[in-house]
Amino acid sequence: MVDLSVDFDKEAAMEWLRKVSPRRVLIQSPLGLRALAERLDKFVKEWGAESFISSSPTWGGCDIAVEEAKRVGAEGIIHIGHAPFLSQTELPVLYIEARYRDYKPLKDMVESVASALGNHKRVGVGFTVQWLDHLARFMNDLSAKGFAVLAGEPGGHLSHRGQILGCDYTSLKSIEPLVDCFLVVGSVFHALGAALVSEKPTLMVDPHTQRVEWMGDKAKRILASRYHMITRFQRARRVAIIVSRKPGQYLMGLAQKLKKLLNDKGMEAAIIVSDEITTENLSDFSFDAYVNTACPRLSIEDQARFSKPLLLPVEVLVALEEISWDEVLRNGLLLNMSLKSSIT
């Protein structure tokens, strides 16, 4: 069992409370970290503010419960489990990350990682925030095996050197020309994302399962299925563009531009606003296809559960023959932000 730190920096929390001086605080956390939410609830009350615990899903640092906090009159939010994602929020947010304390599960993999890397001597590493405390040690251990190991600086929605998110691989992209391959410490979810943003091979290293796996085949299957969805979308006449209410996913401006683009091509388009995008939420609509401007991973991981195409904005541009599929493959399927800016 890997030990996830569920402690928090009391001094930093105290300093945030002093600075923000909230009368009421809302505390949100993903499943698995609810015990820490309970401890923070006690801490906030002892400090002298009223505290509420949210039980709503908390998918990422993009998912800040601003509406819920405003509904209960909270003047600040404590968000547990993710690194800071947004540089500006409507209410002050204290992010409390959760980090794995023990290096051993990762250290135990150094030999098998070195053997899997083989002749890929220049390696760009990306870590999920939970493993970041061990970035420097792991880089040293791989260097000692004869590899040149690089970590990129944060950009986009990232906060730390070497960090990656399921929707943001800016740190890896910044070092792409300098490396032979990427190595992602985290899960298949995170490594697959890296394999979808670059043509460089990506090795997954999962300290939980002790698995080491190249992601090329999985990425190829996903890309083939995405192209199939693009061709289905081309036959659609009535399309709905989904906009998420979550602060870090809200892209109404992009949705409106896509709507105009679709209308200009003779397609009917509507905009649907949603908090959680599920098959149930969409099941009663009669649209031929959907565009997903929310979390891009919904279109990758959840497409199979939707009976209609759920295209990413960049895939819509391919369907409308505004850009080529080859261009997407070169730039990366999940690099929506840069392509989004090209139509904004």
At 293 the three-state DSSP class reads: coil
Q: State the binding string over 245-274 for ligand SF4 (x if CB under 6 A, else -).
A: ---xx-------------------------
Closest approach of ligand SF4 to the CB of residue 274, in Å? 14
| Two structure tokens written together for 266 | 């003779």
**Cα 34 to Cα 274: distance, rounded to the nearest angstrom:** 25
CB of 73 within 8 A of CB of 51? no
Closest approach of ligand SF4 to the CB of residue 130, in Å? 13
Closest approach of ligand SF4 to the CB of residue 237, in Å? 29
Q: How does 53-82 read in b/e, with b if 16+ C-beta sit within 10 Å?
A: bbeeebbbbbbbbbeebeeeebbbbbbbbb
Q: State the binding string over 109-148 for ligand SF4 (x if CB under 6 A, else -).
A: ----------------------------------------
Among 22, 60, 81, 126, binds ligand SF4 (CB under 6 A): 60
Among 79, 297, 308, 340, binds ligand SF4 (CB under 6 A): 297
Among 6, 37, 62, 93, binds ligand SF4 (CB under 6 A): 62
Closest approach of ligand SF4 to the CB of residue 193, in Å? 8
At 22 the three-state DSSP class reads: coil
Q: Which is nearer to ligand SF4, 152 or 166 (CB)?
A: 166
Q: Could you tell me which stretch among 27-35, 126-134, 162-170, 335-343 binds ligand SF4 (CB under 6 A)?
A: 162-170
Q: Which is nearer to ligand SF4, 120 or 218 (CB)?
A: 218
Q: State the residue number with the nearest CB to ligand SF4.
A: 60
61 near ligand SF4, rule: CB under 6 A? yes
DSSP 333: T
314 near ligand SF4, rule: CB under 6 A? no
Beta bridge partners of 292: 242
190 near ligand SF4, rule: CB under 6 A? no
Q: Could you tell me which stretch among 5-13, 165-173, 196-204, 213-221 binds ligand SF4 (CB under 6 A)?
A: 165-173
CB of 332 within 8 A of CB of 312? no
Sheet holding 238-244, edge to edge: 268-274, 238-244, 289-292, 310-311
**Cα 129 to Cα 66: distance, rounded to the nearest angstrom:** 23
Distances in whole angstroms, Cα of residue 210 to Cα of each of 24, 109, 111, 213, 298: 43, 7, 12, 10, 26
Instruction: Catalog residues that contact ligand SF4 under the rule CB under 6 A.
Output: 59-62, 165-167, 248-249, 295, 297
